[in-house]
Homo-oligomer: A and B are copies of this chain.
Amino acid sequence: MKIRVDLLPHRQPESAYRDVVVLIDVLRSCTVAPLLFDGGLEDLYLSPSLRRARAFAAQEGALLLGERRGLPPEGFNYGNSPTELGQVDFTGRSVVMVSENAPQALPVVSCAQHVLLGSLYNADAVVRRALALAESEVTLVCSGFGGSEDLDDALTAGYLAARLRQQAPDSNLAGAAPMAVSLLKVFPDPLEALWQSRAGQTLRQLELQQDIAVAAFVSQSERVPQLERQVELQDSPLFHFGAAVA
């Protein structure tokens, strides 16, 4: 088994994704996703485009959730705050989520056989699910922040890579996995890395510190959002996730 980490989605055709991809965006969309399913959510759609998200939500009667620069766009039902969303009952509802990093990565990784959303919040569950699905390779793909590598996702990738290796001791670490794992020595408490990351700095400026604390909780959820299909909507796809329980 190969455990690879990419600190950003790799867009070169020669590194095309196969087998299992775990997409990471720990601050905040991949922390929010399992938490929504814990709150009873039925269907989650991720959209890179605000306009398409609005059109699809209107058409399907789905709730609109997400952020631009950390805050909910006009007309949205909710922002992207796990602190707030943990209080909401989503039983039987569908949600269209817009955010700035993970949805942009989905068109790059969606060629993989299986795409899961991973964070610290569902760490153990995502590790079990990835190993159950993988034939030969689990690739942990960091969404990054504003098109650059960021510490929060890199540390989370390091944590997941270390857990994967514990569960599959014959596996080898590829790509940026050794670097990501070595970050665990600098940040034995993940909260510190999330706090110092650029994504974390942005949340602190918006006085959303509590969201960083929620995102640093490890293995609170057993839900693993898994890509089921792409919905082609004019020129921009939506990505439909259901929840697997590992």
Contact = CB atoms under 8 A, between A and B. Distances in A.
Interface in A128-166: 147-151, 154
Q: How many copies of this kind of chain does the complex include?
A: 2
Contacts of A203: none
B11 A176 contact: no
Interface in A1-46: 4-8, 10-12, 14-15
Interface residues on A, range: 20 to 34
Contacts of A185: 185-186
**A interface, over-half SS:** mixed
B12 A147 contact: yes
Interface of A: 4-8, 10-12, 14-15, 147-151, 154, 174-176, 178-179, 182-183, 185-187, 196-198
Q: Which 6 A-B pairs have the closest CB atoms?
A: A149-B176, A148-B175, A151-B179, A182-B186, A185-B186, A7-B149
